[in-house]
Amino acid sequence: MIELQSIKKVYTMGSQSLEALRGVTLKVEQGEFISIMGPSGSGKSTLMNIIGCLDTPSAGNYILDGDKVAGLSFDQLAAVRNRKIGFVFQNFNLLPYATSWENVELPLLFDGKSARRRRERVVELLNAVGLYDWRSHRPSELSGGQQQRIALARALANDPPILLADEPTGNLDSKSGEEIMDILTKLWKEGRTIVMVTHNDHISARSQRIIRLFDGLVV
């Protein structure tokens, strides 16, 4: 499903260059649930962004679902993010002025789905995360746990095979965190591939496999 071969990422700032990833090779099979762990600055988020097609590697090959990502244009990458990958961010990244309904609807809209299909799907997703009654509320009117559940619903909008979660429980209290983890576990059991970045051993214990990063390398 996800195959990374000697991925390098170098950030250049003026004359300084920083090697965030120094040749990461990694393979994630379909239906796997893996956690990426490591100290701050080890390159977890960089790796996550590359897997999520939010960033491109400086060197190395990335094969997603059998296709090479390197040759894709900006808009083709956007289509990949839209259909194949669902994102859950630590700080939710919901549009602040949009309602729960509208936030969940957004990926469907960008995919050009009809109004009827969008409506059906949003109802289904909001019911699945238990927030249908909160559909007209804005993110600022929701608790952290509720916001993350909306973000999860949004990530699942186009039914992507891969779910990427960057510290999904990082900004939540333990109870809300547990709820989110329950949903992720359920999704995994239904057949989705899940890649999660976390600091938390308790959270990572839920996954099948833990990959540890240190100084831009898998250890």
Partner 1 sequence: MNLTLPRFFWSEYRKRRKKASLITFALFWGTLSILLLMAFGQGMSTQFQVSFKGLGETLIMISGGQTSLTYEGLPKGRAIRVYRDDVAYLRERIPEILRIVPESYNGWPVSVGGKELNRNVHGTTADFAVLRSQIARMGGRFLNDDDNALGRKVAFIGWKVAQDLFGVSDPVGQHVIINRIPFTVVGVLQKKIQDSMYQGPDADQIYVPFTSFLMIDNQPYVDRIHIQPKTGDESLLIEERAKVLLGRKYRFDPKDRYALGIWNTIEDSKEGLAVFRGIEIFLGVVGALTLLIGAVGVTNLMYAVAKERTKEIGIKLAIGARRRVIVQQFLLETVFIFAKGTFWGFITAFNIVSLIRLAPINYDSFGIEAYLLRPEISFQIFVAYMIILGALVFLSGIFPAWRASRLNPIESLRYE
Residues at the contact surface with partner 1, assessed by CB under 8 A: 49, 52, 54-56, 74-75, 78-79, 81-83, 87, 89, 93-95, 97-98, 102, 106-107, 109-112, 115, 154, 158
Which of helix, strand or coil describes residue 194?
Answer: strand
d(CA 25, CA 156): 27
Q: Which residue's CB is nearer to partner 1, number 193 or number 204?
A: 193
Question: What's the closest the beta carbon of residue 8 comes to partner 1, in angstroms?
Answer: 16
Among 60, 58, 67, smallest CA distance to 85 is for 67
Taking the least distance from each CB to partner 1, the nearer of 148 and 204 is 148
Q: CB of 202: closest distance to partner 1 in angstroms? A: 27
Q: How far is the CB of 157 from partner 1 (least distance, A)?
A: 8
Backbone angles phi, psi at 47, to 5 degrees: -65, -45
Nearest by Cα to 41 from 17, 21, 15, 14: 21
Q: Residue 5 or 56: which CB sits closer to partner 1?
A: 56
Q: State the minimum distance, in angstroms, from the CB of residue 54 to partner 1.
A: 4
> Which is closer to partner 1, CB of 87 or CB of 188?
87
Residue number, 44 or 154, with CB nearest to partner 1: 154
b/e per residue 191-218 (b: at least 16 CB within 10 A): ebbbbbbbebeebbebbeeebebeebbb
Rounded least distance, CB 159 to partner 1, Å: 13
d(CA 177, CA 138): 21
